[in-house]
Amino acid sequence: MNEQNRKIGLFLVITGAIFWGIGGTVSKKLFQEYSIDVNWLVVIRLLIAGLLLLSLKCVTKNRGEVFKVWKDKKVALHLIIFGIFGMLGVQYTYMVAIDYGNAATATLLQYLSPVMIIVYLLLRKRIVFTLSDMITVLLALLGSFLLLTNGSLSQMYVPIPAIVWGVLSGVAAAFYTLYAAPLLKKYDSLVVVGWAMVIGGVALNFIHPLWAAAWTSFTLKTYLYLAFVIVFGTMIAFWFYIKSLQSLSPKETSLLGSLEPLAAVITTVFWLKAPFGTFQWLGACCIIGVVFILAFWSKKPAKLKKGQKNVSSKIS
């Protein structure tokens, strides 16, 4: 791998992560100042971004995969379940958490999903509990406590609904990660994620139709913010992240992906002027630190019992 390709890879993953983080903050702007309905935004975001990703695949290699995924009934059912409970689950809970709270808190709570995966695999007895796992869980719990309370036991600094939806977003992200694995082994990620977005968007469209919006009240700024959330904060962010894997290792992309919550925190605090206490900053650092540990903790594999797997093979 030459140095030029590595630089391109670094640019792609950093840009994608920053777009993801800023996209959440722009969504909050739409909810807060332009009274955009959260259900409607999720529908239009999923449908347009999904169609753009599938269109992108159609002009690249192996374009036949776009429809091949529907030829196997079991794969098709798997994809539909993933689209509704995985993709839609993640996007909807994340956006509602932003609506009730802010992008910084919602993004950081969603980043607890690796810890939830560890706990799930432990309960299923599919991994052994290592020192790094223990430190990861404790650091995540400490970070969450500081983030939500700002170090005070007497009061919560984040609305309860925002906490509930944020935690549900983490659970949905954990399910998304585990359930998508078999699909991603067989088919290109652009195909899997593109169709999952379209499926999720169509499903929610039955509850909140795409056309049920006060289009005439939209200003130029509204359209620009919507375009950023859909194109840059969703479609390009994902595309750049996937493209970076051609030049960087999964551990590097995972680590640099932690710029997403950092971008969400900075833009939330300095652009939207949301209050963020000293201990909340420390809590944010703890949660981002979890990503560092998962990406770079070097350890010898523990002796596994029959049928068990090391957690690093699942989430790193």
Residue 304 lies in a domain: no
Q: Per-residue pLDDT averaged across 124-150, rounded?
A: 83
Q: What is the mean pLDDT of residues 121-147?
A: 83
45: in domain = yes
314 inside domain: no
Please indicate, yes or no, if residue 311 is contained in any of the structural domains: no
The number of distinct structural domains making up the chain is: 1
What confidence score (pLDDT) does residue 247 get? 81
Higher pLDDT, 184 or 85: 85
> Can you give the pLDDT at residue 311?
36
What pLDDT does residue 314 have?
Answer: 30
pLDDT at 316: 27
The predicted pLDDT at position 38 comes to 94
190 falls within a domain = yes
SS3 per residue for the chain: CCHHHHHHHHHHHHHHHHHHHHHHHHHHHHHHHCCCCHHHHHHHHHHHHHHHHHHHHHCCCCCCHHHHCCCCHHHHHHHHHHHHHHHHHHHHHHHHHHHHCCHHHHHHHHCCHHHHHHHHHHHCCCCCCCHHHHHHHHHHHHHHHHHHHCCCCCCCCCCHHHHHHHHHHHHHHHHHHHHHHHHHHHCCHHHHHHHHHHHHHHHHHCCCCCCCCCHHHCCHHHHHHHHHHHHHHHHHHHHHHHHHCCCCCHHHHHHHCCHHHHHHHHHHHHCCCCCCCHHHHHHHHHHHHHHHHHHHCCCCCCCCCCCCCCCHHHHC
Q: Calculate what percentage of the chain has a pLDDT beyond 70.
A: 91
214-259 pLDDT tens trace: 777 889 999 999 999 999 999 999 899 888 877 877 667 777 877 8
Tell me what pLDDT residue 295 has. 67
Average pLDDT over residues 67-76: 93
Q: What is the pLDDT of residue 94?
A: 96
Least confidently predicted of 36-45, 180-189, 277-286, 290-299: 290-299
pLDDT at residue 251, rounded to an integer: 66
Query: Which tens digit of pLDDT belongs to each residue from 90-124?
Result: 999 999 999 999 999 999 999 888 888 888 888 88
**What pLDDT is attached to residue 104?**
92
State the average pLDDT over residues 9-38. Answer: 93
Alpha-carbon span 257 to 253, nearest angstrom: 6
Short-list 113, 64, 92, 153, CA closest to 261: 113
Confidence (pLDDT) at 244: 86
In a domain, 307, yes or no: no
Task: Give pLDDT, residue 114.
Answer: 82
Q: For the segment 259-283, what is each residue's pLDDT rounded down to a tens digit? A: 899 899 999 999 999 888 899 999 9
Domain presence at residue 84: yes
Averaged confidence pLDDT in the chain: 86
- Contact between 276 and 268 (Cβ < 8 Å): yes
| Rounded mean pLDDT, 156-164 | 90
Percentage of residues of the chain with pLDDT beyond 90: 53
Can you tell me the mean pLDDT for 290-296? 75
Amino acid 291: pLDDT = 75
Domain span at residue 280 reads 3-297
Out of 119-123, 202-206, 251-255, 304-308, least confident range: 304-308
Is 164 a residue whose pLDDT tops 80?
yes
